[in-house]
Amino acid sequence: MPNPQDQHILDALYATVAARKGADPDTSYTAKLFARGTAKIAQKVGEEGVETVIAALAETPDKVASESADLLYHLIVLWADQGVKPQDVWNTLAERQGISGIAEKAARADD
Ligand SMILES: N=c1c2ncn([C@@H]3O[C@H](COP(=O)(O)OP(=O)(O)OP(=O)(O)O)[C@@H](O)[C@H]3O)c2ncn1[C@@H]1O[C@H](COP(=O)(O)O)[C@@H](O)[C@H]1O
């Protein structure tokens, strides 16, 4: 079990999730999702995204936090399903650091 102080919690969660590939779907929710396939995993990401939006519009900040945790967990299952490593995402975010979203959009030729 990684020490949360040595590793970002999302990296630790990814390691746990990836290790569930091929595990028993009767004892692991993650293994059950992998067994149900990409379409089901992607659907869950969409559902949890919508639930996060609903929490923001009609519920409490605590509920937004809890729905966000569900969303991040299901997104990480989707990364593992797709062979995307957390570091790939961190690298993309790091490359964008310091670049305004408005300036980036203005620089896009086809938008
Ligand atoms: N972070 C999570 C996590 N967040 C949410 N969930 C589960 O996600 C499910 C979402 O519930 P829903 O009602 O939306 O889903 P559902 O009814 O089962 O699915 P459908 O009806 O949509 O098919 C619940 O069963 C939650 O327990 C999670 N399940 C697991 N984890 C992490 O993954 C680790 C491994 O879990 P297992 O694979 O179950 O061992 C755990 O130790 C946790 O760290």
Residue 15 in contact with ligand 1 by CB distance below 6 A? no
Give residue 100's pLDDT.
Answer: 84
Residue 68 in contact with ligand 1 by CB distance below 6 A? no
Q: Is residue 47 part of a domain?
A: yes
Tens of pLDDT, residues 62-73:
999 999 999 999
Compute the distance from residue 21 Cα to the ligand 1 centre, in Å. Answer: 14
Residue 74 in contact with ligand 1 by CB distance below 6 A? no
Report ipTM for this prediction: 0.93
Q: Residue written as tokens 């949890």?
A: 48
In the predicted model, is pLDDT for residue 109 greater than 80? no
What is the number of structural domains in the chain?
1
Half-sphere exposure (CA, 13 Å, Cβ side) for 44? 22
68: domain range? 9-84
Q: What are phi and psi of 28, to 5 degrees?
A: -130, 120
CATH of the domain at 15: 1.10.287.1080
Structural element, H or E, at residue 47:
helix 38-58
Task: State pTM to two decimals.
Answer: 0.91
Q: Is residue 41 part of a domain?
A: yes
* Nearest CA, atom 18, ligand 1: 29
**What number is the average pLDDT over the span 65-94?**
97
Q: Is residue 38 part of a domain?
A: yes
Q: Is residue 110 part of a domain?
A: no
